[in-house]
Chain A
Amino acid sequence: MKPWIERQRHLIDFTAQSLARRKGKSLGLLFVYTLLVFVLASVALYTHALRNEATRVLAGAPEIVLQRLIAGRHDLVPPGYIERIGRIRGVQKIEGRLWGYYYDSVLKANYTFMVPADREIVPGEIVVGPALERTRGLSAGNGISFRAYSGELHTFIVAAVLAHESELVSADLVLMNEADFRRFFAYPDGHYTDIALWVANPLEVRNVGVKLLGTLPDSRPILREEVLRTYASIFDWREGMMLALLSAAILAFGIFAWEKAAGLSAEEKREIGILKAIGWETGDVIAMKFWEGFLVSLFAFLVGYVAAYVHVFHFEFTLFAPVLKGWAVLYPSFALTPQIDGLQVATLFVFTVLPYTAATLVPIWRAATTDPDTVMRS
């Protein structure tokens, strides 16, 4: 075993020196390679962690949300609907939800106004999400005025700010008392935005959904299972878009790596010829080139991946955040919990390390099996 190891070390010595002779080209390749792994790994780690976090926290969402549609548009739920749903077997709890959007022309941002079901808020007071605290400089005890759609100005006192740790779900929320909400939006009494309901037996949720459609044909039930599936597929749809943008970079790298790895330069060919002429065996030449390809790609993979991890989980995906922010003024600032999918990392490894290593070997094998004299003269 020992002589074998010593032999490989000598081969690596030779490879390292040969790479050092072509310093600019080798470092350039390593840099571009690392950058590519960094970009791919950043996107993969971010989407995977976000997907996990979203599905995890939304496991607490209402089992069914029932919307009422008029001409394909979401409309208010009129009085009487809750009573009619109450008669459906299997429904355990029903609550009307009151929420809506408010466009703040000062910040040019959209807020979500909501009446909380789990707490009582004193009339005239509001509880705001952390993004509002940040962008409007609000804190407990401050007053803020919103212009209602009727044109009137309503002033509220901030009673509290929601915890920053839950920003992923609460960044833009403004929680208020029901009477304030109805007055602000001139919401008709007894009407609700939609209905949240819970089913006694989890296996019956789908059946209850079908019954709801039968009882209230103008309604659209949204099951929690579907909400979770929506978030499980988050970014999947147009992850293709990201890949399409990246594909140019991937192709460019492919050409670069192929040119570097597969197209042997005259100098390299001569080097192989000399090595063979001084007594190297074909196996040695191939092993030497294998080490070159493998070490370069392994190093690029490791460094690129570690940089991506730090970027996503310690710097909140800063470099790509502008893409995600779009035109949103209120953007949640949240640190994702690292969730690493082993299979994803393995796939990245296979797709980055193996092709390059293989691409290095094929032309070398061709050059190394030909006669040294021919190689040197060609």
Chain B
Amino acid sequence: MPLERPSDRVLAATLLAGVLFAATFADAARQRSAREAALQRTTELVTGLRLSDVVLFTEARYTRHLSQADLHSAFQDHPMALEHFPSGSLLPPPRLLLDHHETLDRKAASPD
């Protein structure tokens, strides 16, 4: 039956888009199972080489080894240096450094 009515055409187009939408989930599931072995091998490589970071940005050492960086490394080129690598503006500092810890020094009462 040809799509004579405008509503048929609109609904058919939406349905097609819906099918494609559902297909992305099927494709994702297929790719996940296809890559499982490679992911496993990558994890083994990380364990074997004792790696601690992923290679996302190789331009600066504090973005290459993000988890090993400290808060100063982005600014330590010279006093008053500004962070200037583009990737530095995309990545957060290591989470560890942003956490608020309990102060470790004793709270002494100040003598009056």
Question: Is the pair B28, A101 in contact by a Cβ cutoff of 8 Å?
Answer: no
Asked if B58 and A329 sit within 8 Å, CB to CB, the answer is yes
Q: Which residues of A contact B17 (CB under 8 A)?
A: 299, 302-303, 306
B106 within 8 A of A: no
**Would you call A13 and B7 a contact (CB within 8 A)?**
yes
Mask: chain B, 37-52; 1 = CB below 8 Å from A; 0 = not: 0110111111111111
Point out the residues of chain A lying under 8 angstroms from B42, CB to CB.
57, 165-166, 168-169
B89 close to A (CB within 8 Å): yes
- Kindly count the residue-residue contacts between A and B in the assembled complex, taking CB atoms under 8 Å apart: 230
Interface residues on A, range: 35 or more
For the residues of B in contact with A, the DSSP-based class is: helix
Instruction: Give the chain A neighbours of B76 by CB distance below 8 A.
Output: 73
Residues from chain B with a CB closer than 8 A to the CB of A42 are none
A169 with B55: CB separation less than 8 A:
yes
Residues of A within 8 A of B51 (CB): 58, 60-61, 169-170
Is A234 positioned at the interface, with any CB of B under 8 Å from its CB?
A: yes
Q: Nearest Cβ distance between residue A232 and chain B, in whole angstroms?
A: 8
Contacts of A9 in B (CB 8 A): 5, 7
Q: Tell whether B107 is near chain A: CB-to-CB under 8 Å.
A: no
Interface size class of B (residues with CB under 8 A): 35 or more
- Give the segment of A151-159, A183-191, A335-343 that binds chain B: A335-343
Task: Say how far B97's CB is from chain A's closest CB, in angstroms.
Answer: 9
Interface contact A53-B39, CB-CB below 8 Å: yes
Q: Known contacts being A175-B49, A303-B17, A326-B87, is A340 close to B58, with CB within 8 Å? A: no
Chain A residues engaging chain B, CB cutoff 8 angstroms: 9-10, 12-13, 15-17, 20, 50, 53-54, 56-62, 65, 67, 69, 72-74, 95, 97, 101, 109-112, 114, 116-119, 129, 131, 162-163, 165-173, 175, 194, 196, 220, 222-223, 226-227, 229-238, 241, 295, 298-299, 302-303, 305-306, 309, 313, 323-324, 326-332, 337-340
Shortest beta-carbon contacts, A-B, top 8: A237-B92, A118-B48, A326-B86, A338-B28, A16-B6, A60-B47, A302-B17, A12-B7
